[in-house]
Amino acid sequence: MTICTIEDLQKLARRRVPKMFYDYADSGSWTESTYRANESDFQSIKLRQRVAVDMTNRSTAMPMVGQPTSMPVALAPTGLTGMQCADGEIKAARAAEKAGVPFTLSTMSICSIEDVAEHTQAPFWFQLYVMKDKEFAQNLIDRARNAGCSALVLTLDLQILGQRHKDIRNGLSTNPLKSLKGWSHILTRPRWCLGMAGTKRHSFRNIVGHAKGVTDVDSLFSWTAEQFDPQLSWDDVQWIKERWGGKLILKGILDVEDAKLAVASGADAIIVSNHGGRQLDGAPSSISQLKAIVDAVGDQIEVHMDGGIRSGQDVLKAIALGAKGTYIGRPFLYGLGAQGETGVSKALEIIHKELDLTMAFCGERELTRINRNHLLPGTF
């Protein structure tokens, strides 16, 4: 199969990853209207094509929170990444390192902070969920610092879990290995099974053996179901910022008022995000809120965005609207599920090529020069 687009990787991943894990990555909450809007709202934004301009010596390089990148595209924190492919977080981090872009490890990863640090050279970022067990959260922060992580991404939009119908139907709210349905999903993917047989990393290694009372998969599921903190507040952001002491990025901002509070918190950057459409269904798409948030706080804090990016053109549109960085989740997960580390590299290669060519067609040689003048008036 010739791979030309992210959609090509998606089709291959669907055939190779067990259904319950593929659906976990490729689904939203409730009716999935926000999940769909994240993608479709990009399509309404049109680009201005320019001609007879010098297209040589192009550069897509842009820093994100002071870190040089080959393009302003970070791999987003995604849970269960190591269930798309054996040792998935390690493989994705390696691909990101080779491509010169940041990798963000999720709290809910299969490979641990220490696993990824052991198998990579470049500093990666770590994403933190605030749990009721504050001692555990503090230890996670300390472990990330000790591993050399260069930024902490604090997720603010998962105090309670959204209603994710596919996960419920697939049995992911409990241990899937205790159901016939779970095994039926797994045993139909022999290639995936062979990969998993070759690794020791099968559970949430940031949690098992580190959180009190969590020693196996069964205790893990019951602990996780009770631990997300519905009382998370801006006061928590302060103690986390002080404990961490480094670059802090706040993820899950979708409203101008919250963006202003984020500025007041002293964070280094915010991510305009609706959790990939997996939390509040009916919330607006990330790209539709980006312009207003940039206009309100973009001169005071670095504004990033995620949600719905499926091409390099989408990246350019976000940059044109004022984003200083973007994140991809599903595109790299499709690559990982399809072809492992090679697939993640392919996903990044596809997005970079599309970004580079689109920038040239818009009449620019440097991505840092892209702005709203490169978008067709009335379409954004």
**Per-residue model confidence as pLDDT tens digits over 167-218:** 999 988 777 777 888 888 899 999 999 999 999 999 999 999 999 989 887 7
Q: Is 77 annotated as a binding residue?
A: yes
At 78-135, the pLDDT tens digits run 999 999 999 999 999 999 999 999 999 999 999 999 999 999 999 999 999 999 999 9
Domain assignment present for 132:
yes
Q: Is 16 annotated as a binding residue?
A: no
Q: Is 251 annotated as a binding residue?
A: yes
Give the sheet arrangement for strand 325-328, strand by strand. 73-75, 325-328, 302-306, 269-272, 247-253, 151-155, 125-128, 104-105
Q: Is 155 annotated as a binding residue?
A: yes
Domain assignment present for 377:
no
Contact 39, 201 (CB under 8 A): no
Contact 351, 6 (CB under 8 A): yes
Burial class, 180, CB count within 10 angstroms (exposed 0-12 / middle 13-18 / buried 19+): exposed
* Residue % of the chain over a pLDDT of 70: 100
In the chain, alpha helices (H): 6-16, 19-25, 33-43, 88-99, 113-118, 134-146, 165-170, 180-187, 190-197, 217-227, 234-244, 256-265, 286-297, 312-320, 330-361
Through-space distance between the first and last CA atoms of the chain, rounded to whole angstroms: 36
The catalytically annotated residue of 119, 185, 275, 352 is: 275
Q: Is 129 annotated as a binding residue?
A: yes
Place of tokens 């090679």: 342
Contact 362, 25 (CB under 8 A): no
CA 319 to chain centre: 17
Query: Residue 283 phi/psi, 5° resolution?
Result: -70, 155
Q: What range defines the domain where residue 26 resides? A: 6-367
Domain assignment present for 380:
no
Domain assignment present for 379:
no
Query: Residue 175 phi/psi, 5° resolution?
Result: -65, 110
Q: Is 106 annotated as a binding residue?
A: yes
Domain assignment present for 374:
no
Domain assignment present for 357:
yes
Quick one: which H or E segment has residue 248? strand 247-253
Domain assignment present for 1:
no
Q: Is 275 annotated as a binding residue?
A: yes
Q: Active-site residue 275, yes or no?
A: yes
- Domain count for the chain: 1
At 122-132, the pLDDT tens digits run 999 999 999 99
Q: Is 24 annotated as a binding residue?
A: yes
Q: For residue 253, what is the domain's CATH number?
A: 3.20.20.70
At 221-274, the pLDDT tens digits run 788 878 999 999 999 999 999 999 999 999 999 999 999 999 999 999 999 999
Contacts of 140 (CB under 8 A, 6+ apart): 107, 113, 126, 128, 206, 210
